[in-house]
């Protein structure tokens, strides 16, 4: 074999693309119905946007970023996520001057140097939605509601919404210290990475998969016991709004999320069909991110859905491929020109039409029509054409009818468009 794709970087082949288009189309419909507008942002950003935004002591910034020095000597990074970039764009273009509240979404590839396995890739796609400029807990519930509505619209079941509150600048440091004190007593149980995390970012220890670390944190203090009055009230209101919208949720006090920008509400939607990579979506509130990246004091909340994981959960019985509406079989030399002319006219009418380019036998053309799963076949036989007629075959019920070749485009448009 010649040159192959890089490990962890996938091709999305035409047979799969229908699913992607369906998911993207549904996301646009749902999100725009909730008042969100699309934004398109670059794939490359200055490295400091992510190191300051996501946090120096996170796995993403410490070891997963694709960072390089460009010819001008600047340090650039392939974006590992979209939230920080969207916040940068909002600040840079002063979108707040028009309206402080911005509801934005974007689609696109993200890059993380992780160990590839099923559901975890080095280039993966996210659908990302963010609300900037609202600190009110009602919007936390609204964003979650939109997410769940979208996931249901694409046909996902067996999902669980998990929520937690991660506190704010006032209460989180207290929790951090409480957790550090608790884990220091058990530090002999921690793996080498977590020994280091204990000093730099003890909350990350919750995400460690090593058995002894999991045991060490089993009885660790919960962040909910450290929340300040305001964070408590905020979280209560989120839960109340979710219940008002009849949304079931599970409280997961161990969910800390892998990015440091979160404050207060954090959430994940997990699927029990996904094996070990079971988070389809992660999100939460980040009321300090804008300040971290050098901007104003603007609150934000949002989520990102992993496209590959979502697509692996789509209903198996749904068809996502657009098959040809019509195949024109023109077995005789004299009929090729007519097939070409007709196919061109039908394409202009939006009717997906295929025909044979090679002058093969009728049998072989019918086999190809069958393989392509064409809904109808129009047979342009030389004899029939002399009589001014063509035969239309419905491939589902195998019925056939003769049609006049005058105004075939109009007749076919009516017939095929109607089904």
* Range in contact with ligand HAM (rule: CB under 6 A) among 93-101, 174-182, 201-209, 282-290: 282-290
Using rule CB under 6 A, residue 356 touches ligand HAM: no
Is 383 within 8 Å of 390 (Cβ atoms)?
Answer: no
Using rule CB under 6 A, residue 206 touches ligand HAM: no
CA distances from 377 to 141, 229, 339, 364 (A): 51, 70, 12, 13
Among residues 88, 112, 204, 239, which is the contact residue for ligand HAM, using CB under 6 A?
112
DSSP symbols for 249-283: -EE-TT---SSTT--SEEEEEEETTSTT--EEEEE
* Nearest-angstrom CA–CA distance, 78 and 101: 28
Q: Which residue is nearest to ligand HAM (CB)?
A: 306
Among residues 114, 207, 273, 384, which is the contact residue for ligand HAM, using CB under 6 A?
114
Interhelix angle 47-54/83-92, nearest 10 degrees: 110
CB of 256 to ligand HAM, least distance (A): 11
Is 281 within 8 Å of 304 (Cβ atoms)?
Answer: yes
Question: Between residues 280 and 392, which has the closer beta carbon with respect to ligand HAM?
Answer: 280
Q: How many residues does the chain have?
A: 419
Question: Between residues 201 and 365, which has the closer beta carbon with respect to ligand HAM?
Answer: 201
CB of 206 to ligand HAM, least distance (A): 14
First to last CA, the chain: 45
* Interactions with ligand HAM, residue window 239-258 (CB under 6 A): 258
Among residues 107, 124, 226, 235, which is the contact residue for ligand HAM, using CB under 6 A?
124
CB of 292 to ligand HAM, least distance (A): 14
Using rule CB under 6 A, residue 126 touches ligand HAM: yes
Q: Other C-beta atoms within 10 Å of 83: how many?
A: 28
Using rule CB under 6 A, residue 290 touches ligand HAM: no
Question: Between residues 286 and 376, which has the closer beta carbon with respect to ligand HAM?
Answer: 286
* Range in contact with ligand HAM (rule: CB under 6 A) among 209-217, 304-312, 327-335, 392-400: 304-312
Among residues 51, 58, 77, 83, which is the contact residue for ligand HAM, using CB under 6 A?
83
* Range in contact with ligand HAM (rule: CB under 6 A) among 24-32, 125-133, 315-323, 398-406: 125-133
Is 378 within 8 Å of 392 (Cβ atoms)?
Answer: yes
Question: Between residues 279 and 379, which has the closer beta carbon with respect to ligand HAM?
Answer: 279
What residues contact residue 194 under an 8 Å CB cut-off, 6+ apart? 204, 205, 208, 210, 213, 216
Residue that has been written with the tokens 């035969």 in this structure: 391
The alpha carbon of residue 199 and the mean position of all alpha carbons in its chain are separated, in whole angstroms, by 34
Using rule CB under 6 A, residue 281 touches ligand HAM: yes
Question: Between residues 250 and 321, which has the closer beta carbon with respect to ligand HAM?
Answer: 250
Is 130 within 8 Å of 300 (Cβ atoms)?
Answer: yes
List of residues contacting ligand HAM (CB under 6 A): 81, 83, 112, 114, 119-121, 124, 126, 128, 130, 258-259, 279-284, 302-304, 306, 308-309
């Amino acid at each position: 074999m010649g040159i192959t794709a890089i490990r962890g970087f996938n091709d999305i082949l035409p047979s799969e693309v229908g699913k992607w288009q369906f998911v993207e189309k549904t996301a646009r419909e749902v999100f725009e119905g909730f008042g969100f507008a699309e934004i398109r942002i670059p794939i490359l950003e200055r490295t400091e946007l992510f190191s300051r935004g996501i946090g120096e002591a996170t796995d993403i910034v410490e070891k997963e970023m694709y960072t390089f020095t460009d010819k001008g000597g600047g340090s650039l990074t392939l974006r590992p996520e979209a939230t920080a970039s969207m916040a940068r764009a909002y600040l840079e273009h002063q979108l707040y001057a028009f309206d402080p509240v911005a509801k934005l979404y974007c689609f696109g590839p993200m890059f993380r140097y992780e160990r590839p396995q099923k559901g975890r890739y080095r280039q993966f796609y996210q659908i990302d939605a963010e609300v900037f400029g609202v600190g009110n807990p009602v919007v936390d519930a609204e964003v979650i509601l939109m997410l769940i509505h979208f996931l249901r619209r694409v046909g996902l079941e067996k999902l669980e919404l998990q929520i937690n509150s991660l506190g704010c600048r006032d209460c989180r440091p207290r929790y951090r210290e409480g957790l550090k004190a608790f884990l220091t007593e058990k530090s002999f149980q921690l793996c080498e990475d977590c020994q280091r995390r204990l000093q730099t970012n003890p909350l990350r220890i919750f995400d460690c998969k090593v058995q002894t670390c999991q045991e060490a944190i089993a009885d660790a203090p919960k962040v909910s016991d450290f929340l300040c009055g305001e964070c408590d009230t905020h979280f209560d209101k989120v839960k109340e709004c979710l219940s008002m919208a009849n949304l079931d949720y599970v409280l997961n006090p161990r969910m800390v999320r892998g990015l440091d920008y979160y404050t207060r509400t954090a959430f994940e939607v997990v699927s029990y069909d996904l094996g070990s990579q079971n988070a389809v979506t992660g999100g939460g509130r980040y009321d300090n991110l804008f300040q971290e990246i050098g901007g104003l004091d603007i609150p934000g909340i949002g989520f990102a859905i992993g496209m590959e994981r979502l697509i692996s959960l789509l209903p198996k019985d749904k068809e996502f491929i657009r098959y040809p509406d019509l195949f024109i079989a023109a077995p005789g030399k004299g009929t090729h020109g007519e097939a070409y002319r007709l196919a061109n006219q039908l394409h202009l009418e939006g009717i997906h039409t295929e025909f044979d380019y090679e002058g093969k036998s009728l049998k072989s053309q019918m086999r190809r029509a069958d393989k392509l799963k064409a809904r109808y076949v129009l047979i342009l036989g030389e004899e029939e054409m002399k009589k001014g007629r063509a035969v239309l075959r419905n491939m589902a019920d195998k019925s056939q009818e003769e049609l006049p070749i005058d105004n075939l485009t109009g007749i076919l448009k009516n017939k095929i468009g109607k089904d």
